[in-house]
Amino acid sequence: MKRILCLILSILLILSITACGEKDATTSSSSETSSIDASSEVSEDMTSSTFAHSNEEFLETVTYMDYALTGKNEPYFVGRWFEKEIDGKKHMVTVTDGSALYFLVNGADSVDLSFTVITGTDIPFFSYSIDGAEPIRQAVTKPTITLPTRGRHTIRIIADGVTEHVGKWYDEKGFALREVTVSEGGEIFGIRPKNKVVFYYGDSITEGICSLSHGYASPNNSATNAYPWFCSTKLGVVPYYIGYGGSGILKEGSFRPLNIAIDSFSYNTPAIETADPDIIVVNHGTNDSDVSDEAFKENLTTALGKLRKAHPDVPIVYMIPIAQTKAKVITEVMKGVKNSYVVKTEGWDISTHDGLHPDSAGAKKAGEKLADELVNIFGKEFFD
């Protein structure tokens, strides 16, 4: 009887031990599963963090421009851009050649710029620069940019050329960009240039009219072949174009006189600039040759007063027109403007297509001479 009782107790003890073992195994298994899940969540967070950090590290290696990340999926716009709804869709629009946008891409084979042509039969041209290389120019109807590798690249897009009298002021005709997309697997991040910014107020010579060949249609015009581009490239600054062909201190041309252009993107759109200037360059007067000195002086004084009020501490540099138009009056007026300088251009010997508008070589010469003058005024350290 005792043997039977001992046998029963032994069986119960074995069953109890087995049950405990299974419970421990279940608990252990459950703990490992939780640990894996937690590890997975951390891994995902680390992947995202590492990717963003890598973008920042990449930008630190860039030597041709100093950039800061701004946000995912949105390019960073510099220049006279404004939002406008076209055919029920939001666009970024500019009527100002030289306006630009900047972004970083990673993991893409190509970039597509979805432009909407709002200039009728006139087809504008844009330029793009990959990793600080020389800009490549193509029509907005050919919007694909092929990338050299699927790695990281900085992209700079420039509104390069539109017909001079296309209807900029009243009709807001120019460049209309709906979106920027990249090929499958790629990502896009906005990048903001942190270099100093130079505002260039001027006319067709500032805008780049006729810089590629004689004529005023978009194939002949190029902001990246105008003196602000070459000046800014030599100095390592960001060019901010505010140039409109045919305009002047009193002349309207393709836009409006300087006094109105200062605070207007178009007839319907007040100016809200996307950057603050470190230097302001003015190159006006060429189109005012038939204006009396008295009227020119009065209107120039008013325009410069508006600029000074908007930017009280920013130096204003007046680049005398290459044709020397109104040089004496300009010099006289500038004596009354605080924190201002005059750059003389007489004897620069600038080549042109038509006796007035610099060709690309002439614009480069003018831009680099202006850059040298700005270094003489402000010192090399100012631009470092």
Q: How confident is the model at residue 5 (pLDDT cuts 50, 70, 90)?
A: very low
Q: What is the mean pLDDT of residues 307-320?
A: 98
Closest to 80 in 3D by CA, of 274, 277, 237, 276? 274
Strands 110-115 and 175-182 come out as: antiparallel
> Mean pLDDT across the stretch 169-193?
97
Which of helix, strand or coil describes residue 208? Answer: coil
- In this prediction, residue 53 carries a pLDDT of 65
**pTM of this structure:** 0.86
Candidates 109, 157, 120, 116; CA nearest to 140 is 116
Phi-psi region of 326 (alpha: psi -120 to 50; beta: other; left: phi over 0): left
Percent above pLDDT 90 for the chain? 86
Mean pLDDT value of segment 173-193: 97
Instruction: Tell me the residue type at 310.
Output: A
Indicate whether 204 pLDDT > 50. yes
Domains and CATH numbers, the chain: 54-194 (2.60.120.260), 195-384 (3.40.50.1110)
Structure tokens that stand for 312 in this block? 């009280």
Tens of pLDDT, residue by residue over 44-100, are 333 334 444 699 999 999 999 999 999 999 999 999 999 999 999 999 999 999 999
Q: What is the mean pLDDT of the chain?
A: 89
Q: What is the DSSP string of 127-184?
A: EEEETTPPPEEEETTS-EEE-SSSS-EEEEEEEEE--TTSS-TTT--SEEEEEEEE-T
Residue 9, pLDDT score: 44
Residues 316-333 pLDDT 10s: 999 999 999 999 999 999
Cβ contact 249:257 at 8 Å: yes
Query: What is the predicted pLDDT for the residue at 35?
Result: 28
In the predicted model, what is the mean pLDDT of residues 246-274?
Answer: 98
Take residue 319 and report the two structure tokens written for it. 């680049």
User: Residue 110 is encoded by which pair of tokens?
Assistant: 């190509």
For residue 150 the two structure tokens come to 């699927």
The yes-or-no verdict on residue 125 having pLDDT over 90 is yes
- Looking at residue 74, its pLDDT comes to 95
> 302: pLDDT confidence band, cut at 50, 70 and 90?
very high
Least confident of 13-27, 74-88, 89-103, 290-304: 13-27
Does residue 31 carry a pLDDT above 90? no
Closest by Cα among 193, 190, 185, 191 to 106: 185
Q: What value does the mean pLDDT take over residues 272-281?
A: 97
And the tokens for 23?
A: 């419970």
Higher local confidence (pLDDT), 239 or 28: 239
Residue 165 has pLDDT above 60, yes or no: yes
pLDDT reported for residue 24: 43
DSSP β-ladder status, 316-319 and 279-283: parallel
For residues 200-209, average pLDDT? 98
**Interval 154-170 mean pLDDT:** 98
Which of the residue ranges 45-54, 108-117, 271-280 would you say has the lowest mean pLDDT?
45-54
In which band, very low, low, confident or very high, does the pLDDT at 224 lie, cut at 50, 70 and 90? very high
Say what the pLDDT of residue 169 is: 98
Out of 46-60, 269-283, 341-355, least confident range: 46-60
